[in-house]
Amino acid sequence: MINSLYPLIRPFLFSLEGERAHEVTFSMLELANSLGMLGAHESRPEEGVTLMGLRFPNRVGLAAGLDKNARHIDALGALGFGFIEAGTVTAQPQAGNAKPRLFRLPEASALINRMGFPNEGAEVIAQRLAQRKFKGPCGINIGKNATTPLEDAARNYVECFRVVAPHADYVTVNVSSPNTTNLRQLQQVDQLRPILDALLEARVQLTSSSGKQLPILVKVSPDLSSDDLAAIARLVRELRIDGMIATNTTITRDVVKGVPNSEQQGGLSGAPIRALALQSIPVLREHLGKDVPLIAVGGIDSGAAAVAALQAGADLIQIYTGLIYRGPKLVTEILTAVRKS
């Protein structure tokens, strides 16, 4: 039912300011879930896959950014996702950048955001994770607080990791958002290495105390050169990091030049970045080898786009902007396309 209703509701939602529409959408989603209007898709056994020691009921996940504070994991899970990634979460609560900071580009089926990791902080979000009923893997995307200097980034990431790790199924290290000043510098191998080393040490302590071996992934930018992507992939393999996510949003605007709102600062997501995100997958796969899991995200707004990402070398896919424009039926469409491919 929710699949048929969303096209009727979308014009109203798109008449609202972006963040207000976000709040209203989640209110509707929670109501629909309470009324039993969700959960139309039941994953088939053959759709599942085991990666990083986790069982994914299917290959379609929700990308970080939509449920920053892990408030709606159960309702989102009822849409048919095989896994959900909440966040980005920081060690300390922060307000993010000044509003307005979320803009639609309907002509391009795209969004631009400069949110700046607004979230309620690791402690609050960890408590919500502990209460979830969603049975699929739930990852947490962690970032650096805006007030933390780059030279103190490793400590800040570890502080956040230690709080959320006991309640997450995997943790993604976000060093690729364009909306926190200088954050992308942390993708440079000489700066990324100490962060990952510190997180690996924190994981050893977690495993020692609880027995939990928590997968760690790294999320990268689509604006990196092939050489930079290869260097990060080699580092990931060297340190035995569990996986990678490609990609975050882009700061390039060539593909949306002249489209209303394209002049806004921030990260561009949606259909215009599909080709840019997709071309990173074979590069990363070449240097990761066959055994390091790779999650594709960026412009996946159809079954065909999802199949293309998997055929390019991804193991799983995530969606976000496509869900805003297409609605929940996108999940079902992708699952059908993947099953037939």
- Average pLDDT rounded to a whole number, residues 299-327: 97
What is the rounded CA–CA span in Å between residue 210 and residue 124? 21
Count other C-beta atoms under 10 Å from residue 209's C-beta: 9
Share of the chain above pLDDT 70, in %: 99
- Summarize the confidence of residues 18-39 as an average pLDDT: 90
Which positions are annotated as active-site residues?
177
The pLDDT score that the predictor gives to residue 36 is 83
In angstroms, the Cα distances linking 217 to 23, 40, 237 are 29, 30, 11
Q: Which amino acid is at 181?
A: T
pLDDT tens digits along 116-129: 999 999 999 999 99
- 207: pLDDT strictly greater than 70: yes
Name the band, by pLDDT with cuts 50, 70 and 90, for residue 39.
low
Reported as a pLDDT band with limits 50, 70 and 90, residue 56 is very high
How many CA atoms within 13 Å lie on the side-chain side of 83? 29
Token pair recorded at residue 55: 């069982």
**The pLDDT of residue 3:** 73
Token pair 């050489």: residue: 227
Read off the tokens for 210: 């609880």
* Residue type for position 80: G
Is residue 32 scored above 90 in pLDDT? no
Mean pLDDT of 192-218: 95
Check residue 47 and give its pLDDT. 86
pLDDT at residue 40 tops 80: no
- Tokens 């300390």, residue? 92
Say if CB 276 and CB 298 are below 8 A apart: yes
For residue 253, give the amino acid letter: R
pTM greater than 0.75: yes
C-alpha 83, offset from chain centre:
11
At 37 the pLDDT is 80
For the residues of 280-334, what is the DSSP string, one character each? HHHHHHHHH-SSS-EEEESS--SHHHHHHHHHHT-SEEEESHHHHHH-THHHHHH
